[in-house]
A and B are shown apart, each in its own frame.
Chain A
């Protein structure tokens, strides 16, 4: 077992222990742990020799970082302009209704987290949502329940 500090150490090494690589280091840790626990952030501070405030300043600025564990299924509803004009708000409301969680929340049983995002870059297929890495395009309100059934 290499433990949290071992993992942090390894990731910081991979990026040459370079302070300029803070964002890249945090991205790797985020994707490894699925979120950024306190001890990970403290570990980064220690390894890079920078103030903890700087680690938090960066980590709280960017959207990729999460300070709470995410659910097993990460559901993202695209709210980009192309999806918006094709009815994304109605899709979002329906997903919220079916899952019973608000955007930004994770269900108490840790099964799914719901997020709304600005653009998934899949604009021709709008409205779009992703479940994990899977894209679901051309959604209608009546598709939502069926599509979400997979992770219920």
Chain B
């Protein structure tokens, strides 16, 4: 368990939570104010910051212990955080009326398929590792 939920992963989850809340709020604000020309900004900034954060904490995680499923665990964490916040905000009616629940459901479906593909890829990768560590990384 200690090698699954590590310190860098927890830090990544906290940053993801903060970024997702900010993304959701800023997007809803722009939609509520009908600033259609600017709605592309929050997703772009969110994507860039998530990429930087994932890379930063991913490298820290790799340096600590190069468990091969780093990418999958980070992906799964992002997925869980994103939809927990999105559905919570939708349920609490914090989202703009221009963002019907169906959009989140569709996103969940598409992203879920991608996550499942990532899981299948990870299962294939597992064949080349010992207790999660790639054979080439054990005695480097």
Say if A and B assemble together: no
